[in-house]
Amino acid sequence: MTLALPIIDGDGFDDWHWQLRNRITGKDEIAARLPLTADEAAGLDAAPGQFRVAITPYYFSLIDRDNPACPVRMQVIPSARELQNEPGDLADPLGEDSHSPATGIFHRYPDRCLLLALDRCAIYCRHCNRRRLVGKEESPISRDDLEEALDYIRRTPAIRDVLVSGGDPLTLSNARLEQILAALRAIPHVEIIRIGTRVPVVLPMRVDDALCTMLKKYHPLYINTHFNHPKELTPLARAACEKLADAGIPLGNQTVLLRGVNSSVRVLRKLFTELLRCRVRPYYLFQGDVAAGTSHLRTSVETGIALMQELRGHISGLAIPHLVIDTPGGMGKVSIGPDYVVARGPDKWTLRNYEGKLVDYPQPADKDATCAYDEVYFSGSQAPHGHEHTP
């Protein structure tokens, strides 16, 4: 069988709407563009009714057609192993449904909540932790449900920070996305708006001047994106990140540690240092969530800690993300990492540096940790925005 070339060009290739309309979604389409392994063929046979498959032509063009171990390929083409679950795998690994006081709202932490604006993504990742929800109807939240979600935020003054996610909010039209951002910015107690998106990675042509001009009206606005491998940092992806940064938007990156994709120190070092060059700060490195059908992509906790051990001290601290486990059952994120504390005592702590050398840190004689000026500063007029201190 002669394979056709993957779509890498064509009328409208630079148009993000064209990219979404021409996503590659089925076994026949994929098999015409690369030779499938038996495992991939079985996964694609099982996909209908089990999980969503969709790949933008742009992201598909990054796949190494001759190597099943290609890190882009492993993130988007399903395998039969997605039908296998291990003990502890969960449909709702983060317990989001139990923390949903309104449609489209997940409120797990006291001062921040998640607003799910839609269930569509530009591509569907094989490691998705929200696969029970994402891609079912490919629609934005209804206007009634959106208003209910916004009403919940309005009547919950403890919420200072809203993360707009989904699905991928940047696959919405500018007008629809602005409707959401404007409504959030009109709520007095919402100080920070964040957007979680993989668009700069998989649909970078979406990040155009019109989008950036709209977004910059809603500062302070932050964007967290999701690069998992340096192969994804193409010139187009870099330009998208730089365009957002030029609009004054601080950028963070959340990488998922994936077995066989980025589970080597060489890959992570390259990824994190190159992200900094694009003005994207590595923020989180997630141990894989216990989402059903993803166990074959998860590494052990020991692997994650060992990788962090090899990174610390060898690249800039700016390039070191927090290694975290987003715990099952909605118990929140827990930071983990190498243990650099050898001994603890009232007079000194003994620490181990990144080279394995030991050093003592003397404790102060006075253990009083109070701040005498706190009561003056936070008593009223001198506190920023009149808010009380939040630890």
The alpha carbon of residue 328 and the mean position of all alpha carbons in its chain are separated, in whole angstroms, by 17
Q: SS3 for 357?
A: coil
- Whether 333 sits among the annotated catalytic residues: the reply is yes
Helix (H, G, I), strand (E, B) or coil at 273: helix
**Residue of 70, 124, 168, 289 with catalytic role:** 289
Spot the catalytic one: 23, 108, 120, 231. Answer: 108
Residue tagged active-site, from 27, 168, 298, 326: 326
Residues 264, 158: Cα–Cα separation, whole Å: 40
To the query of whether residue 326 is one of the catalytic residues in this protein, the response is yes
- Determine which one of 73, 120, 124, 128 is catalytic: 128
Whether 109 is catalytic: yes
Is 270 among the residues known to form the active site? no
> CB atoms < 10 A from the CB of 210, how many?
9
| φ/ψ of residue 127, rounded to 5 | -100, 15
Q: d(Cα 338, Cα 217) in Å, to the nearest integer?
A: 41
Residue 212 known to be catalytic: no
Sequential DSSP letters for 234-256: -HHHHHHHHHHHHTT--EEEEEE
Quick check: 282 and 319 in contact, CB under 8 A? yes
Selecting among 130, 194, 198, 298, the annotated active-site residue is 130
For the question of residue 371 being annotated catalytic, the response is no
Q: Which among 109, 218, 222, 283 is annotated as catalytic?
A: 109
108 is catalytic: yes
Q: Is position 59 annotated as part of the catalytic site?
A: no
d(CA 238, CA 198): 13
Of 125, 206, 241, 284, the active-site residue reads 125
**Rounded Cα distance, 272 and 292, in Å:** 28
Catalytic residue among 65, 81, 112, 160: 112
Strand ranges in the chain using DSSP code E only, listed in sequence order: 105-109, 112-116, 161-165, 192-196, 221-225, 251-256, 280-286, 322-327, 332-335, 341-343, 348-352, 358-362
105-109 sheet: strands from edge to edge: 105-109, 112-116, 161-165, 192-196, 221-225, 251-256, 280-286, 322-327, 332-335
Q: Is 125 a catalytic residue?
A: yes
Q: Active-site residue 361, yes or no?
A: no
Q: Is 282 in contact with 255 (CB distance < 8 Å)?
A: yes
- For residue 50, what are the contacts with CB-CB under 8 A and spacing of at least 6? 82, 83
Of 278, 275, 235, the closest CA to residue 255 belongs to 275
Residues with catalytic function: 108-109, 112, 121, 125, 128, 130, 289, 326, 333
